[in-house]
Structure 1
């Protein structure tokens, strides 16, 4: 199994980029992470980096099955430790979304409103649900999923890393059997808030590589961003299980 990966993380209209994106591939497996430090808290960019690097570290040093839950719990502990050491970092928080691929299966987890999308044969099959007030309104049937993008309470989250207690991620433990051509998008809210699911899907069908797909979607972000647009980060991953067949 091989992977095509493309990655970006930009500050856009903000003074500091509080997002952090990273990945690692080892022996036909991979781990991809996007984190979004909360802008309203001190040192959000530090929390995002700590979280992502803690998860990648667990993946890189795990002898058997890389545990997403263990990685996220380690990230929570690392952030708590920094909060104890520095008063300036006491309130730092971050969201996280993680994908791992191992033994021809995909596993993922998230905390907050950084998202994972999974596409197969040009169709959107999986979209993670935010840990947010707006998602709760969607669940209650009071607003539609698309209305989250413009809702006044869109940034109100009820789960983030750095809060007291355990991390409480939502985890896909069963594993999704991978197929050739499967595509994944991990992104922060500064990305998905201006790129619709239909546009993610249509650009995936047009793109011939992970990099081209990401570039097409970033063009949409750039076209719609305001002067104060949030940081935006994204990782695209295409799965190649047939080494000698070109992927589209």
Structure 2
């Protein structure tokens, strides 16, 4: 496999960043995952952290063999994440369960499989056009499908930020699958939160993202979204992947031709610090298990970030 991939995040005017994102790859498959913790509910950032960490862990553990059905894998793992979040709510005696959106993609042997819950999106571009875009699980998208709103009205509707489907909460998520379809050389994929697509129309997103290599265009896209949204903006995160031989002049391109079978590379982004961490596992080496200590550590880190962002009270 040959591809170029880049991820980035902006805090925007919010006091802290609730988005979490990562990508991982083996010799034969790639995982992209992005989650947007729901700020209208308590501890949304914990749910987003758990979603990304648990899904990348499951992908790492499956690296010794080809996934028989990537769609089934994504569905099962997202449901597992939901159940784990609920168990954390009970164990920590939280008044309200942490909640998050998720969008995840697996590319295996030149075919794409995807799943999403909520309003974080997948875009699939081909030849400067949007070939496929996921449909948001939002109030305004439901009204559009019913013919009660057009796309222009959706952008200013008072309930445009409300979603009816998420991971966490008191009911199981409705996981929507984008079933198998082929990637062509030169195709581009992007996962992004509503902070990006809510600030820019699809035409502008397409224009910026496809104007060069993703390591150059994703930062430009995030800059444009942040400028457009201004003081009303949200956290803004995106992962983009350019597929195939056509982009291999890019020095950031990845080839998995020499990777040993069973090994994985995972790059996780810490939006609060603006840094990436890399996990490399050799053939047969077990993936680090997601533990209660991970949850406690995440809570402590996020609480520190929240406290750091708070303005001191006037004397």
Specify if TM > 0.5: yes
Q: For structure 2, which runs of at least 5 residues remain unmatched after alignment?
A: 251-315
Rg: which structure is higher? 2
Structure 1 residue 228 displacement after superposition: 4.4
SS of 1:226's partner is: helix
Aligned match for 1:161, one of 147, 161, 167: 167
Q: What is the alpha-carbon distance in structure 2 between the residues aligned to residue 43 and residue 211 of structure 1?
A: 31
Match of 1:41 in 2: 41
- Normalised to the residue count of structure 1, the TM-score between the two structures is 0.92
Aligned CA-pair RMSD: 1.9
Give the Å deviation of 1:89.
6.5
Aligned length: 245
Q: How many angstroms does 1:82 deviate by?
A: 1.0
Q: CA deviation at 1:79?
A: 0.9
Match of 1:183 in 2: 188
1 CA distance for matches of 2:219 and 2:158? 29
Distance 2:9 2:211 in 1: 23
Is residue 148 from structure 1 mapped to residue 150 from structure 2 by the alignment?
Answer: no
Q: Measure, in 2, the Cα distance between the counterparts of 1:19 and 1:167.
A: 19
Structure 2 CA distance for partners of 1:87 and 1:140, relative to 1, 3 Å: same
Q: Shift of the alpha carbon at 1:5?
A: 1.0
Instruction: Name the TM-score, length of structure 2 as normaliser.
Output: 0.73
Q: Contact between 1:116 and 1:127, CA under 8 Å: does it hold in 2?
A: yes
Q: CA deviation at 1:165?
A: 3.6
1:107 alignment counterpart: 113
SS at match of 1:87: coil
Does the CA-based 8 Å contact 2:37-2:101 persist in structure 1? yes
Give matches, 1:73-222, under 5 Å.
73-88=79-94, 90-173=96-179, 175-207=180-212, 209-222=213-226
Q: Out of 239, 243, 253, which is 1:239 matched to?
A: 243
List structure 1 segments (4+ residues) > 6 angstroms apart after TM superposition: none
8 A Cα contact 1:43 1:88, kept in partner:
no
Q: Distance in 2 between matches of 1:246 and 1:213?
A: 16
User: Structure 1: which 5+ runs fail to align?
Assistant: none
* Partner Cα distance (1:114, 1:98) in 2: 10
